[in-house]
Structure 1
């Protein structure tokens, strides 16, 4: 493939459609992470380098091509968990083979184009300092990313959220030398402290190039999608230390109607992630923790034919999105019957749901014997919406009706959300019948009865199966 690339008169890129899918494994690994024989592997790698040498002249082009093998096949194998997860005898053998290739084939211009952390590892490999490579990997493993949420609110049909992100170590913000000045790495660092200090100063100097992304990841499939985000960067001095923190601040928008490459979010659970690329590191973290007391991060929204609830996860308080699954957590049970107006044969009531514009909905009224559907509208009103629906008195006369709302009646599988309202019609009008929420004791008793019925049902089924076998 290398020879074909170097000898080709033209190289075409197919970009009209997705023609290759990368499957994310459960352990995030690929074939390149598997253990192999270092001697045979790097013998084959030398053959690829021979092809580059045959078809290029010494200089910047050859160095840039060599740099790919140095970065991917050598330096990255000697970093972080990828190195430390291997037995010591194996990684020593791997290190020896990599050192021989670097010493034999690569001039100083090859490593000069690497990221700061990669340059340090490449320099230690060239100097044959295996123990320092391991020590640097142990330091890198201790680094992680923190992504703290700020405000989470609906605005114009999109979920707007603010969050900050920065690297941490040992649970505290990672600090860097103040006044970072970028200087070339002149040979291998004297020790690990010098290596860390040089990487830190270089990272500060390149801070303007750091990136922060927001991704929403489908929990069922792990498919993930980038969302629009605006980023500002802040260098925060650490008092009386001469050191600084590097903080990235983001304002992002998740539009449920177009978050999946221009199409709506699918029904299910979606988790939010921040991803930072800075200083030779690419790290991601869940956005959280948020307030422990509040399950919902904001009110639910009806956007793009979906009912979307932003919420904080129970265990860690991370921000996630519930699409077309939430019911009780939407807060519709807190609707006040006293705020419901049924004058003139129309039902009008505030509802704690965000809608970007007038949205067609369906109100289902159910009595003991039948059900009636009434078309209605959710209209924006402050932080929520107002539900309006026309009621036909003659259709409702003489019965008490429970109510449920379908916020997306055009969906493939419409869902009806119960409302804490009961209606009763007389000869000329419809009135709200006050419903009383069952007491805590009554709710517990009801659950106990259902559980007992389920147990008895299983026992009956088991006895029936035994009778059939006999």
Structure 2
């Protein structure tokens, strides 16, 4: 009997229909069914969840169901699942999420190949922004790679012997942040950690009823602050202390400080909650910030975040609210050069910047050889009358372009990096901007594989001066128009366009946009002349290794199947019609469906397509004489030999 490679542990409680929605992704894995098991642990459900689970188990030998009295939290059922697990590796899944169909097979192979204790699989989500941690696949790293702290959910693969050796368990009972406690302990103990970024492993799905919305995870009644202290102590115990802001311990604590503590002082939370309740949160956050986090963690923050931290440490709630109101108004803006196709890549020059609420650039002011934060942003913020110094304008700053598969919620990172620079604005003022080139390859972007059929939106993420924003890449062209000409890539058509809101998108394989009116308008200017039944289409880009794309066209009154294929020796496409058509002699328009303007004209004699012409092509008198005698077979044969 094959050994169990992976145990999938799924805690459930009053899950109802979500069990049935998640189960197919677990049962339909590419890993053979006798090589993995699914361990459901019901935490005392009071609805029909248990009967649903038993029905699934009855039809699948690799499914087991265990029950326990309600504990009120996922920690205890996960621990019980680990006690029953027989797999070489353990993968945690929540009952309302899904796995990619090849997730277990790919994770296990990556883990075994690299002898990893922990494997992080690429996550796709309808709820949170993508993490740059999953930009590249990594064979092996350790906790020294502090970007690991971007992913603290337990939905990872852990080597079972490693978990047992170090006694790793989830805190039980109502224990907020139980996932952070378990995962941070695993990171600190692991000798080899691997990252699988070229395949969407885990789909963290938003429930219709909002039952897994992370905005509800903060609850001081369940020991939030005490648990935060526990996790801080765990990290301190596992790493050496240092006053260096870039020391490992301070880099690891940065995530906890920024996400769990400093978020109580920033928008939107500090502005949307009841003021009385928020003051209590603010004071509790202040106590933890001052007592648990080294000064180096606060000092290592970028300018705006460091100002928040200073206001928090001083207990200045009103000042934090004022700053939050100002920062909330900051908006990102993208400037996009004309998109174009180069070697099968959609490329465009892009610049990203931040603007204040009044639409002016968020600036730095140079004074006495130092940089100071924009005084307009600071007006009315206590403690900033003399300005707020920015020792390093690029501290923890970065920007990146991201492409989102609209249908599947997958996020992919195109080639190239955006560079940060200071752009002079005159009079001692400057602005931090990010600029670079989008280079989107439809045939390799999805982890080295072609993008799936569908619409793919181009996004940008910026983190400048401690202000982070995610925004669709938007141009100044007319909304709803092509952003660049069509391209033939990998046997499919890729159509870049500006959405109705002016945002850059790419439709792969005509999911929503069709090769039609836009193309025929440009085609009307084509003055080319083809050879026999083929016509060059210079306005359609093509890669030489692309397979043909089949098109339905109308030639005269006859509907036929045509082909788009690469034109030899060029980076453009050509149109090829059937060699013979049951049409009368003459020059017949070639139309795409639902278009008024012809894509081309086919010259037909005796049922044979003599040639295909662009709509703007004008033949001379000699050509008309040859056409008149072209029904003579001998003439046609000689013309082909002479290359016309």
Fold shared per TM-score above 0.5 = yes
**Partner Cα separation in structure 2 for residue 54 and residue 154 of structure 1:** 53
Match of 1:427 among 606, 622, 637: 606
Report the counterpart of residue 451 of structure 1 in structure 2. Answer: none
**Partner Cα separation in structure 1 for residue 533 and residue 463 of structure 2:** 55
How has the CA–CA distance of structure 1 residues 329 and 281 changed in structure 2, closer, same or farther, with 3 Å as cutoff?
Answer: farther
1:60-99 correspondence runs (5 A): 66-99=253-286
Superposition deviation, residue 339 in structure 1: 4.2
Report whether the alignment pairs 1:192 with 2:381: yes
Match of 2:365 among 177, 182, 195: 177
Report the counterpart of residue 153 of structure 1 in structure 2. Answer: 340
1:183-262 correspondence runs (5 A): 192=381, 195=384, 201-202=390-391, 205-207=392-394, 210-240=397-427, 242-262=428-448
1:260-409 correspondence runs (5 A): 260-292=446-478, 295-314=481-500, 316-325=501-510, 326-332=514-520, 334-336=522-524, 339=527, 341=529, 345-350=532-537, 352-357=539-544, 359=546, 360-362=548-550, 373=561, 377-379=565-567, 384-389=572-577, 391-392=579-580, 396=582, 398=584, 403=590
Match of 1:23 among 189, 200, 204: 204
How has the CA–CA distance of structure 1 residues 148 and 368 changed in structure 2, closer, same or farther, with 3 Å as cutoff?
Answer: closer
**Partner Cα separation in structure 2 for residue 32 and residue 229 of structure 1:** 34
CA contact (8 A) 2:555 2:591 kept: no
Report the counterpart of residue 317 of structure 2 in structure 1. Answer: 130
**Partner Cα separation in structure 1 for residue 366 and residue 205 of structure 2:** 39
Superposition deviation, residue 313 in structure 1: 1.7
Superposition deviation, residue 265 in structure 1: 1.9
How has the CA–CA distance of structure 1 residues 404 and 358 changed in structure 2, closer, same or farther, with 3 Å as cutoff?
Answer: farther
**Partner Cα separation in structure 1 for residue 420 and residue 551 of structure 2:** 48
Report the counterpart of residue 5 of structure 1 in structure 2. Answer: 185
How has the CA–CA distance of structure 1 residues 10 and 263 changed in structure 2, closer, same or farther, with 3 Å as cutoff?
Answer: closer
Superposition deviation, residue 245 in structure 1: 1.9
Q: Which runs of 5+ in 1 are unaligned?
A: 184-188, 407-415, 437-470
Task: Give secondary structure in 2 for the equivalent of 1:90.
Answer: helix
How has the CA–CA distance of structure 1 residues 209 and 52 changed in structure 2, closer, same or farther, with 3 Å as cutoff?
Answer: closer
CA contact (8 A) 2:488 2:573 kept: no
TM-score where L is the length of structure 2: 0.55
Residues 292-344 of structure 1, C-alpha deviations (whole Å, 9 max, x = no match): 27811111111122211111122x2121112222232541355349846476x
CA contact (8 A) 1:216 1:224 kept: yes
**Partner Cα separation in structure 2 for residue 162 and residue 324 of structure 1:** 25
Please identify, of 156-165 and 41-50, the stretch whose mean Cα deviation from structure 2 is larger: 41-50
**Count of paired positions:** 414
How has the CA–CA distance of structure 1 residues 194 and 168 changed in structure 2, closer, same or farther, with 3 Å as cutoff?
Answer: farther
Please identify, of 109-118 and 299-308, the stretch whose mean Cα deviation from structure 2 is larger: 109-118
Report the counterpart of residue 139 of structure 1 in structure 2. Answer: 326
Superposition deviation, residue 39 in structure 1: 7.9
CA contact (8 A) 2:364 2:429 kept: yes
**Partner Cα separation in structure 2 for residue 372 and residue 20 of structure 1:** 42
**Partner Cα separation in structure 2 for residue 231 and residue 257 of structure 1:** 22
CA contact (8 A) 2:543 2:572 kept: no
Please identify, of 146-155 and 98-107, the stretch whose mean Cα deviation from structure 2 is larger: 98-107
Superposition deviation, residue 384 in structure 1: 4.7
Please identify, of 94-103 and 58-67, the stretch whose mean Cα deviation from structure 2 is larger: 58-67
How has the CA–CA distance of structure 1 residues 402 and 331 changed in structure 2, closer, same or farther, with 3 Å as cutoff?
Answer: same
CA contact (8 A) 1:218 1:270 kept: yes
TM-score where L is the length of structure 1: 0.72
- The Cα RMSD (Å) is 4.3
Report the counterpart of residue 446 of structure 1 in structure 2. Answer: none
Residues 400-436 of structure 1, C-alpha deviations (whole Å, 9 max, x = no match): 9875789xxxxxxxxx999645647443754689999
CA contact (8 A) 2:486 2:539 kept: yes
